[in-house]
Amino acid sequence: MGLFEAILLGIVQGLTEFLPVSSSAHVRIVGEFLPSATDPGATFTAITQIGTEIAVLVYFARDIGRIIGTWFQSLVGRSWWLQALAGQKNDARIGWLIIVGTLPIVIVGYTAQEYIRSSFRSLWLVATVLIVFGLILAVADTWGKKERDLSSLTVPHGLLYGFAQTLALVPGVSRSGATIAMGRSLGYDRVSATRYSFLLAIPAVMGSGLYELNTALQGSAVSAPFSLLETAVATVIAFGVGLAVISWLMRYISTRSFMPFVVYRVTLGSALLVLLATGVLSPL
């Protein structure tokens, strides 16, 4: 039964990681309805996210290779980082801004571990932020200007993207939802906002996942109710499903809005509030 549940949660992780609906919230909620009826935990969630981030590496391999290559090239010469951040080397600038945008979540993620593993996982909080940030995404996507692409990315915008990503430490916010909403609010078109959201997530998610994997291997963290083998199976499945979802989503947003995801978020959050209020589900 543990393997079956891990496989199901791996599918859920892959399906929801890149959609602006919060994969961590879905893994948290689905866990309550499995036979074990328990929270899969922050460790399991972080490790399975390694699989979905590897899917990002595969899908955007050419972009990532170009960014890394030009970033290293920017290290040569005078005022290399100033040239990159000033826009003289667009791909190098994106590389530097990914580093800048990752700093906020590294700091907050490290200092807020106690809350990430406990109070942040309350279903009351999950339900609330599903609704609130769904509505924020609706406003940003509807009224945000569509005049910028990634060549317009600046240091202040990079930091704002980074602070938006930090909000995703709360299950229900959605890493992609928060960063895409920020991008749309700043005037970036849907494809550019989504592409940068995925690229920005790579260092933070891979770092978090590898940290949790290391602590689990050392026995410093508990990955219950799943063994490391079951977690590994879920991670592989999350990779395969996630790769398919990225391909579909990038085609979808080129012609359509995020409104269906907003409706889904508000509906799910409202249903979760009802289940909590009636005692069907326990918040912790």
**How confident is the model over 108-128, as pLDDT tens digits?**
988 877 777 777 888 999 999
What pLDDT does residue 74 have? 75
What pLDDT does residue 12 have? 96
What pLDDT does residue 17 have? 93
pTM: 0.88
Q: What is the distance between the alpha carbons of residues 48 and 50, in angstroms, rounded to a whole number?
A: 5
197 touches 175 (CB < 8 A): yes
**How confident is the model over 19-39, as pLDDT tens digits?**
999 998 999 899 888 887 777
What pLDDT does residue 86 have? 53
45 touches 235 (CB < 8 A): no
Residues of the chain under the 50 pLDDT cut: 88, 222-223
